[in-house]
């Protein structure tokens, strides 16, 4: 009951007793108004697991890539990659081997691949090598069924398309089923100026021999 006149209060024995009045207040505090003084740091579990990789603690399999050896953990690799799962726990010869040899891959590429497997993110790379490394990593990601890494590489390459890289990137996109990346390359080559400059590169020669169907698409696109 809301009382707005003194006469109402004085005339009511239900509220005023012995010249005293008791008032009850309900206070509601919103959670949004509570300010925490504790700063919560960002998650660092990826760094902890990455340290486990570099220290080699508890590793049960190693990989020989080029002239380098990498120690790793079967259960982590198998959990992240269906190909590693088949190689390390399936009826393949690598199941009983403690050292697996990997061909046709650079050691620095495999090192980045392991980094992503253990942390789900890639370390910072110099701008001068990011295109080449993303191209190699895309091939490796496709090889081991790491779709998120593959998309990460596609994004890096899409952001750095130019006349010197577009042909090789387009060939890569066609060979590994990267439709978004292929579309970005084709869009770039719709400019006759860009196409003319790209045709003078070694990458375009590789494109014509490895992906003749893509070349036909380009010719049909620019034909009058």
pLDDT of amino acid 30: 65
pLDDT in tens, 22-55: 777 777 766 666 666 778 888 888 888 989 999 9
The fraction of the chain above a pLDDT of 90, given in percent, is 60
Q: Report strand pairing: 68-72 vs 99-102.
A: unpaired
119-153 pLDDT, tens digit each:
999 999 999 999 999 999 999 999 999 999 999 99
CATH class of domain segment(s) 161-224: mainly alpha
Residue-wise pLDDT for 182-199, tens only, equals: 999 999 998 889 999 999
Cα–Cα distances (Å) from 161 to 85, 135, 171, 198, in that order, read 34, 12, 13, 11
Confidence (pLDDT) at 5: 66
Strand partners, 4: none
107 pLDDT more than 70: yes
Half-sphere exposure of 50 (CA within 13 A, CB side): 16
Give pLDDT, residue 162: 95
**Residue-level pLDDT at 7:** 67
């Amino acid at each position: 009951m809301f009382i707005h006149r003194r006469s109402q209060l004085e005339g009511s024995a239900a509220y005023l007793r012995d010249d005293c009045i008791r008032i009850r207040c309900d206070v509601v505090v919103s959670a949004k108004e509570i300010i925490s003084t504790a700063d919560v740091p960002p998650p660092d579990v990826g760094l902890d697991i990455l340290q486990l990789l570099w220290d080699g603690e508890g590793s049960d399999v190693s990989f020989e890539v080029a002239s380098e050896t990498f120690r790793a953990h079967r259960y982590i690799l198998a959990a992240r990659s269906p190909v590693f799962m088949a190689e390390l726990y399936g009826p393949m010869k690598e199941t009983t081997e403690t050292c697996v040899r990997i061909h046709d891959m650079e050691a620095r590429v495999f090192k980045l691949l392991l980094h992503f497997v253990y942390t789900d993110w890639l370390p910072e790379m110099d701008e001068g090598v990011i295109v080449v490394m993303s191209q190699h990593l895309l091939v490796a990601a496709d090889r081991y069924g790491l779709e998120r890494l593959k998309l990460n590489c596609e994004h890096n390459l899409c952001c750095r398309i130019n006349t010197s890289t577009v042909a090789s990137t387009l060939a890569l996109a066609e060979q590994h089923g990267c439709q978004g990346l292929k579309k970005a390359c084709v869009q770039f080559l719709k400019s006759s100026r860009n196409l003319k400059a790209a045709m003078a590169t070694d990458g375009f020669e590789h494109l014509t021999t490895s992906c003749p169907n893509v070349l036909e698409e380009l010719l049909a696109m620019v034909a009058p």
